[in-house]
Chain A
Amino acid sequence: MRIGLFVTCLTDTLFPDTGKAVVTLLERLGHQVEFPVAQSCCGQMHFNTGYRAEAAPMVRGFAAAFDGYEAIVTPSASCAAMVREYHPVLAEGDPALARNVAALTPRVHDLATFLTGVLGVTDVGAYFPHRVTYHPTCHSLRMMHVGDAPLRLLRAVRGLDLVDLPDAETCCGFGGTFAVKNPDVSAAMCADKVAAIRQSRAEVVCAGDNSCLMHIGGALSRMRTGVRPMHLAEILASGDAE
């Protein structure tokens, strides 16, 4: 299977370790991964903030960069959802592009459901001896419908102590530009999420999206909680090096 990694602009720029972890993980499972260097951004921030004209060229860029891949895997359920749900909307009015987008979007997967659904694995051979809680991000849950795939993957990690997160399915308050346009409500939501994480007594909070983790992690660090945010890919790529 020809797998293209859609790393996303945020992970590319700020969290390269997550991208490296996806490569390590998929290679360990016997797959070769390509990184089409022509990729840039899915356009979600612009689209969700109302700048549709600015987002439209990114749809064309995405379709060109990933043309020909059987599977397009991304460590962001939110960006995967943007491509699946809204690239067809932005491609309206350009029949050729709309056709390309329609052919491409079903092949776009977030990492968790790609592993459990497409590759059919839950035990990826990882070892991570820490107490971890999992925050199901809104778009993974309600747009990509990942269900319990990430939890099944985490439960199969050796040494990992998975603890429940109270009110897990409540939004952390990131919401892209929402965090800046409505900073008071966003921070109030984040404060409640941090309180729930502390209540779980986890050392690590895990999620399938670096955007939400950047938000939660920003508050965890500001409050000196000592709880570490970590992308699912990085936990799944951990092995017993010792």
Chain B
Amino acid sequence: MTGSMPTYLGMPAFPDAAKRAVANSQLRRNLTHATTAIRTKRARAVAELDDWEQLRQAAKAIKDHTLANLGTYLLRLEENVTKAGGHVHWARDAAEANAIVANLVRQAGADKAVKVKSMATQETGLNEALEAQGTAVIETDLAELIVQLGDDLPSHILVPAIHRNRAEIGELFRRTMDDAPAGLTDDPPQLAAAARAHLRHEFLTAAVGISGANFAIAGTGSLVVVESEGNGRMCLTLPRTLISVVGIEKVLPSWQDLEVFLALLPRSSTAERMNPYTTIWSGVTPGDGPRDFHLVLLDNGRTDTLADRTGRQALRCIRCSACLNVCPVYERAGGHAYGSPYPGPIGAILSPQLRGVDSPIDASLPFASSLCGACYEVCPVAINIPEVLVEQRARVVESQKHYSERIVFGASGYVLRSPRRLAAAQRVASLGRFVAGRSGRIRRLPPPLSAWTDTRDAPAPPPESFRAWWARTKGDRQPSGARERIRDSLRKDSR
């Protein structure tokens, strides 16, 4: 069934949101600075491995195999989590997942929960759902905390506060953090220390921890969280009750499969050979860690995506963010324009895949790309993002009634598929050179082409097209009989 991401309802279409971002010079600076630094480091980390491409192909094959047998592996996961003392819940959509978690938090008698950074719960809007029943939710990842304190939305998968610089964060901490030390400056180590002290109290007093998972191992019922700050380890081990909300595509068959992903993920996301903290747990262990463990398996549009021949490759995604960091569109439009917790190239395919293409934002996302292919090139699980985008564009065109655009594309198709009509159009177009005048450039065109000439000149058509020149100078070189052969084969298409 189609998924939903409640926090993001009513977002404007991408070009409108991006227009504001492009004009924000501070945001542009912050994003260019951050993405340039991380993509340079990533390239270096990846270049260290001479079998990167083999690893990438292996990861793709493992994910494809798992997705093709998803039912089997999910049932195996459920069986082994249960055997290890955990409880498994199945959620069809965001609302079901939130209701399950809210209920579990109530049963635990907790008035607050500490959270590990989690994309699945961003997707379901869990924080808002819990706050609605009076549960305080504390994000413990530094960047998520910055977003939460600023009553902001995340703009990057891995670095959700990438749109903020240290000066903005210092100001935010001084304004919103009750226990911020006096004289707190914008110095990053000072800011990190302030957050650390602020969070320590929460870790020690929360009865419930909430997480997602990067991977779930079916064979042993183990969950894996990969992180940098150690806040995850705290949330996963200190509270009495642990609830993990995990997308059904996160399952892997075995530990051998995990090995491949632990080589790919840190290098792709933080440009590290290995991330500082990897926490792996299977159910509950008496005397160690949480006493009560719940796994909520989330569909929210994933089974629909799985049924889509081209789009299903989006389910291979391991949320590394490499595609965001190399994307020239993301770098200029910023993450908020994507209207989803999943911004950038992967978001441009994942959100319409999970939510459908009915809303203005979802119908515009497949077009939010120049199809440059930089995302596909760096993707550690080889998701051909441009291919999916183009497929989704066809879906948008089929489902929408853009009469004027349809007429333009219908008419241009009629001209462009016939060499005779193309030649006739070229003769008409060549008159455009009189509009251009002596400069040979056209400085203004009517809408929709004014979107081009607002910032760029357009070339004036030449007096003679290439085909006219050829016919005039070398027309005798046309192979005999070719014209007839072509006419016969084209006749099938002519309408």
Contacts and interface: CB of A to CB of B under 8 A. Distances in A.
B474 A35 contact: yes
Contacts of A70: none
B490 interface: yes
Contacts of A61: 417-419, 486, 490, 493
Q: Which of A11, A39, A50, A181 has the most CB of B within 10 A?
A: A50
Q: Which of A17, A41, A190, A217 has the most CB of B within 10 A?
A: A41
A16 interface: yes
Given A185-B18, A218-B457, A38 B368 contact: no
A214 interface: yes
Given A40-B417, A219-B456, A54 B373 contact: no
A222 B458 CA distance: 9
B54 interface: no
Contact of A188 (B22, B412, B464, B474): B22
A178 B409 CA distance: 15
A17 B440 CA distance: 14
A16 B465 contact: yes
Given A64-B489, A142-B377, A188-B22, A50 B395 contact: yes
B394 A50 contact: yes
Chain B interface bracket (under 10, 10 to 19, 20 to 34, 35 or more): 35 or more
B15 A181 contact: yes
B413 A7 contact: no
B396 A37 contact: no
Contacts of B464: 16
Interface of A: 7, 9, 11-17, 19-20, 23, 32, 34-41, 43, 45-52, 54-55, 57-58, 60-61, 63-65, 67, 86, 138-139, 141-143, 169-171, 173-190, 214-215, 217-219, 221-222
Given A138-B374, A181-B15, A187-B454, 13 more contacts: A7-B466, A14-B462, A35-B467, A48-B371, A67-B485, A138-B371, A171-B372, A181-B367, A183-B452, A183-B455, A185-B18, A185-B368, A221-B457
12 contacts: A13-B465, A17-B462, A36-B486, A51-B413, A54-B410, A61-B418, A138-B373, A171-B370, A179-B452, A215-B456, A218-B441, A221-B441
Interface of B: 14-15, 18-19, 22-23, 28, 328-329, 332-333, 366-374, 376-377, 390, 393-398, 409-410, 412-413, 416-419, 422, 425-426, 429, 441, 443, 448-449, 451-452, 454-459, 461-462, 464-467, 469-471, 474, 477-479, 482-483, 485-487, 489-490, 492-493
